[in-house]
């Protein structure tokens, strides 16, 4: 991946990651994270890292993204298929750590079936809560899936707008 592109992604990740955000979200979602620091993968996180959902590639995707974290060298690709304004299918491939794989897997589970505007509102907090907590050292790993999802949606919207312009 080109250095300029990686830098843009990194800036994007920094914008997206807001520390302590999940406390507010916790109230909204009516869920509780385990108290105290989470040090180990719980069973759900371990399951999503060893048996990730929605792994693969969509050859006729409507939107796609390729993002990377230069600080650890992990990369991921994600594809979405849109039908009736909803994410009808979503697939990803990751060369990331176990935390990145588990959180990306959960991101795809949360996004599948959602409308575009619903999917855009998925945050790292939702993913962490859906996984019932992740070790704090993996806090940034969750952003690879979220960033890829948002970039793929942007890609879809760009293409969609271009199609509409060329039709008019």
Q: Measured from the CB of residue 155, what is the shortest distance to ligand FES in angstroms? A: 21
97 catalytic residue (yes or no) = no
Q: Does 68 bind ligand FES (CB under 6 A)?
A: no
Q: Does 161 bind ligand FES (CB under 6 A)?
A: no
72 catalytic residue (yes or no) = yes
* Closest CB to ligand FES among residues 73, 113: 73
* 132 class by beta-carbon count within 10 Å (0-12 exposed, 13-18 middle, 19+ buried): middle
How many Cβ atoms sit within 10 Å of the Cβ of residue 9?
23
Q: Measured from the CB of residue 142, what is the shortest distance to ligand FES in angstroms? A: 8
Stretch that binds ligand FES, among 58-66, 97-105, 127-135, 145-153 (CB under 6 A): 97-105
| Binding track over 16-55 against ligand FES, x by CB under 6 A | ----------------------------------------
Identify whether the C-beta of residue 72 lies closer than 8 Å to the C-beta of residue 142: no
Q: Does 100 bind ligand FES (CB under 6 A)?
A: yes
**Alpha-carbon span 49 to 106, nearest angstrom:** 10
Percentage helix, strand, coil for the chain under 3-state DSSP, each rounded to 5: 50, 15, 30
Identify whether the C-beta of residue 81 lies closer than 8 Å to the C-beta of residue 112: no
Contacting ligand FES (CB under 6 A), which of 52, 63, 68, 99?
99
Backbone phi and psi for residue 8, each to the nearest 5 degrees, phi listed first: -65, -45
C-alpha closest to that of 116 among 166, 63, 53: 63
Q: Does 145 bind ligand FES (CB under 6 A)?
A: no
Q: Does 141 bind ligand FES (CB under 6 A)?
A: yes
The runs of H, that is alpha helices, within 42-141 are 43-50, 98-111, 116-120, 124-130
- Taken as a whole, the chain contains a residue count of 168
Contacting ligand FES (CB under 6 A), which of 13, 67, 69, 102?
69
Catalytic site residues? 72, 141
Where along the sequence are the contacts to ligand FES (CB under 6 A)?
A: 69, 72, 74, 96-97, 99-100, 141, 144
């Amino acid at each position: 991946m080109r250095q300029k592109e990686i830098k843009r992604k990194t800036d994007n990740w920094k914008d997206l990651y807001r520390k302590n955000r999940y406390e507010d979200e916790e109230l909204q979602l009516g869920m509780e994270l385990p108290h105290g620091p989470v040090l180990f993968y719980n069973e759900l996180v371990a399951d999503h890292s060893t048996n990730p959902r929605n792994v693969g590639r969509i050859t006729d995707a409507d939107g796609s993204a390729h993002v990377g974290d230069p600080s650890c060298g992990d990369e991921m690709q994600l594809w979405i298929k849109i039908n009736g304004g909803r994410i009808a299918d979503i697939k990803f491939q990751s060369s990331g750590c176990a935390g990145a794989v588990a959180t990306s897997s959960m991101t795809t589970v949360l996004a599948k079936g959602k409308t575009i505007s619903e999917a855009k509102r998925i945050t790292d907090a939702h993913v962490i809560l859906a996984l019932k907590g992740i070790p704090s050292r993996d806090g940034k790993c969750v952003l690879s899936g979220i960033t890829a999802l948002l970039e793929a949606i942007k890609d879809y919207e760009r293409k969609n707008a271009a199609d509409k312009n060329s039709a008019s």
